[in-house]
């Protein structure tokens, strides 16, 4: 689709040494590469560190992907083919419980496909996203972004944008460009990533109507919305729309990605994305409880929990917050720039260990009162990823807990399954930075 917005010039950072296997070692011009996998090219395989063989690990990762993307459509897969159009095949990832499609799941699916070298699945998900969810009207408040929620036939359920989806779209597109090269049209991955990333920071404010299904009633709200990041605080917004206000979601913070955007994205935004990475690293210890390490679903820019009338549980550790520890731990694994992330992982894992490794629930007040007894597979997965940053030997227990957790199936397999799949990739050392060729 044509871009109604101004394009911004870009530069490439030239890669240096070719590593064995798949990735390249890249040095930034100012040498600020940290001490993690980006600089060394070495990714920890936590399963191997726990004594599992390479063959076992390969089999486990491949079997989980096969089940979640090509398993029984009745109770295993979350990936569904949806025909063809002029751009090729179409497919979506669906939230089974809610019978809808979300940019969260589509972009996670694309990231998993990029890491697994599954170009066909990647292209089909991206085609579905651009075909049904993308807004190109310069009068729409979501112009340059994607509706976050739709029916499986593509009809919008909400035309608002959810920035976690946009963030994963951008990173997955850059990895696709670097791993497979660029094609034409919507498959010029780098051009698409540059355009979306520029909009995420620079999109002008637009006032207009936005459709959403609210309490089973078609509703149109007039909102004013712009960029997906707060320029002053250098932080991602939960939503750019006026009807929800200006605050953030700690689980949306992806400093590991921002460092790459500073190197690969529009040249004029390098300093902003480096500052955004630093701002996220500062937010994590402010948002996490000093005793439990639990972070809220939503937070103000100073890290204090958000409460509001339309989501009264947002000040607690709930489903969004599953991901927060994974985000700071991957940042440590790739960049190794902030030792506070190690302290946070140790604190969080100590809390969950105290609740019983096989029995802890999935929702808590920040000071540790359990609100839901379900032992969620997605939380088990993210707590294992926290071991990438943890220093205490208990971290091995969390890795083994993930190893012993079956691939999610049934009603909860969407969110639980995608977090599980990404955790397998992280903990096996197979979720990697794919460098420009």
User: Which entry of 33, 95, 100, 104 is annotated as an active-site residue?
Assistant: 104
- In tens, the pLDDT along 369-409 reads 999 999 999 999 999 999 999 999 999 999 999 999 999 99
The torsion angles phi and psi of 291, rounded to 5 degrees, stand at -100, -40
- 72 tagged catalytic: no
Cα 284 to the chain's mean position, in Å?
A: 16
Q: 296-327: per-residue pLDDT in tens?
A: 999 999 999 998 766 677 899 999 999 999 99
Residue 314 and residue 270 share a domain: yes
Residue 428: helix, strand or coil by DSSP?
coil
- Regarding whether 50 and 87 lie in a shared domain, the answer is no
**Among 179, 214, 245, where does a domain finish?**
245
Give the integer Cα–Cα distance in Å for 71 and 285. 40
Same-domain check for residues 197 and 293: no
CATH code, domain with 184:
1.50.10.10
Estimate the share of the chain in helix, then strand, then coil, as percent rounded to the nearest 5: 45, 15, 40
- Is 437 within a domain? no
Regarding pTM above 0.75, the answer is: yes
Give dist(CA 227, CA 218) in Å, integer. 26
* Last-in-domain residue among 210, 229, 245: 245
- Maximum alpha-carbon separation in the chain: 57
Q: Which two tokens stand for residue 61?
A: 């990762």
Q: How far apart are CA 92 and CA 149, in angstroms?
A: 12
Give domain status of residue 2, yes or no.
Answer: no
**Do residue 19 and residue 121 come from a single domain?**
no
Strand partners, 206: 225
331 in any annotated domain: yes
Contact 305, 314 (CB under 8 A): yes
Q: Out of 320, 331, 400, 416, pick the active-site residue.
A: 320
How far apart CA 418 and CA 8 sit, in angstroms, is 33
Name residues whose C-beta falls within 8 Å of residue 34's C-beta, 6 or more positions apart in sequence: 259, 334, 335, 336, 337
Non-local (6+) Cβ contacts of 83 within 8 A are 89, 90
Kindly give the pairing relationship between strand 100-102 and strand 156-158.
unpaired
Q: Write the CA distances from 358 to 346, 354, 373, integer angstroms.
A: 18, 11, 11
Q: Which domain holds residue 302?
A: 14-77+247-432
Q: Which residues pair with 94 in a beta bridge?
A: 101
The number of distinct structural domains making up the chain is 2
* pLDDT-wise least confident of 71-75, 134-138, 305-309: 305-309
Beta bridge partners of 158: 149, 212
Residues 90 and 239 reside in one and the same domain: yes
Stretch 170-179: mean pLDDT: 99
pLDDT of residue 136: 98
Same domain, 273 and 134: no
pLDDT at 415 over 70: yes
Please indicate, yes or no, if residue 167 is contained in any of the structural domains: yes
Other beta carbons within 10 angstroms of residue 394's beta carbon come to 15
Q: Is 4 a domain residue?
A: no
139: DSSP letter: T
User: For residue 188, which of 101, 250, 126, 253 has the smallest C-alpha distance?
Assistant: 126
Cα–Cα nearest to 79, from 46, 113, 55: 113
Contact 172, 110 (CB under 8 A): yes
Choose the final residue of a domain: 219, 245, 271.
245
Task: Compute the chain's Rg from CA coordinates.
Answer: 20
The pLDDT assigned to 313 comes to 79
281 and 222, same domain (yes or no): no
Take residue 146 and report the two structure tokens written for it.
Answer: 């994607």
**Whether residues 97 and 198 fall in one domain:** yes
Residues 224 and 266 in one domain: no
Residues 344/325, Cβ–Cβ less than 8 Å:
yes
Instruction: Verify that 51 and 93 share a domain, yes or no.
Output: no
Residues 304 and 422 in one domain: yes
| Separation of CA 378 from chain center | 13
Q: What's the average model confidence in pLDDT over 24-39?
A: 69
Q: Which residues of 329-349 are buried (b: 16+ CB within 10 A; e: fewer)?
A: bbbbbbbbbbebbbbbbbbbb
Is the predicted pLDDT of residue 138 greater than 60, yes or no?
yes
CB neighbourhood size of 72 (10 A): 9
Residue 336 belongs to a domain: yes
Specify the pLDDT at position 244.
81
In a domain, 7, yes or no: no
pLDDT of the residue at 2: 40
Q: Can you tell me the mean pLDDT for 23-44?
A: 74
Q: Is 320 a residue of the active site? A: yes
Q: Is residue 6 part of a domain?
A: no
Contact 250, 295 (CB under 8 A): yes
């Amino acid at each position: 689709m044509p871009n109604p917005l101004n394009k911004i010039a870009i530069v490439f950072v030239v890669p240096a040494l070719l590593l064995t296997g798949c990735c390249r070692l890249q040095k930034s011009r100012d040498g600020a590469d940290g001490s993690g996998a980006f600089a060394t090219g070495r990714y920890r395989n936590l399963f191997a560190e726990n004594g599992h063989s390479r063959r076992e690990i390969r089999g486990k990762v491949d079997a989980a992907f096969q089940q979640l993307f090509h398993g029984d459509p009745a109770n295993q897969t979350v990936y569904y083919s949806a025909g063809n159009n002029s751009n090729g095949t179409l497919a979506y990832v669906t939230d089974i419980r809610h019978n809808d499609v979300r940019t969260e799941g589509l972009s996670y699916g694309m990231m998993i496909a990029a890491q697994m070298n599954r170009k066909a699945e990647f292209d089909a998900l991206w085609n579905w996203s651009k075909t049904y969810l993308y807004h190109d009207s310069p009068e729409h408040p979501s112009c340059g972004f994607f509706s976050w929620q739709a029916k499986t036939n593509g009809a919008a359920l909400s035309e608002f944008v959810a920035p976690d989806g946009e963030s994963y779209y951008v990173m997955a597109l850059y990895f696709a460009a670097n791993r497979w090269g660029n094609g034409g049209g919507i498959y010029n991955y780098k051009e698409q990533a540059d355009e979306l990333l520029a909009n995420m920071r620079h999109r002008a404010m637009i006032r207009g109507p936005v459709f959403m299904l609210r309490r089973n009633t078609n509703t149109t709200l007039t909102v004013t919305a712009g960029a997906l990041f707060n320029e002053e605080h250098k932080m991602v917004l939960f939503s750019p729309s006026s009807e929800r206000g200006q605050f953030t979601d700690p689980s949306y913070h992806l400093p590991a990605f921002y460092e790459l955007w500073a190197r690969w994205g529009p040249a004029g935004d390098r300093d902003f994305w480096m500052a955004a990475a630093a701002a996220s690293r500062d937010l994590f210890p402010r948002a996490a409880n000093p005793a439990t390490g639990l972070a809220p679903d939503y937070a103000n820019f100073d890290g204090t929990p958000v409460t509001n009338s339309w989501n009264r549980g947002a000040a607690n550790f709930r489903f969004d917050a599953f991901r927060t520890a994974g985000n700071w731990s991957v940042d440590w694994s790739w960049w190794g720039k902030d030792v506070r992330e190690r302290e946070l992982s140790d604190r969080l894992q100590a809390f969950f260990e105290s609740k019983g490794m096989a029995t802890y629930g999935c929702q808590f007040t920040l000071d540790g009162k359990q609100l839901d007894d379900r032992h969620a597979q997605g939380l088990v997965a993210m707590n294992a990823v926290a071991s990438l940053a943890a220093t205490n030997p208990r971290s091995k227990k969390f890795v083994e807990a993930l190893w012993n957790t079956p691939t999610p199936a049934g009603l909860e397999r969407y969110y639980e399954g995608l977090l599980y799949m990404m955790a397998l990739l992280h903990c096996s050392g197979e979720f990697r930075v794919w460098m420009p060729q």
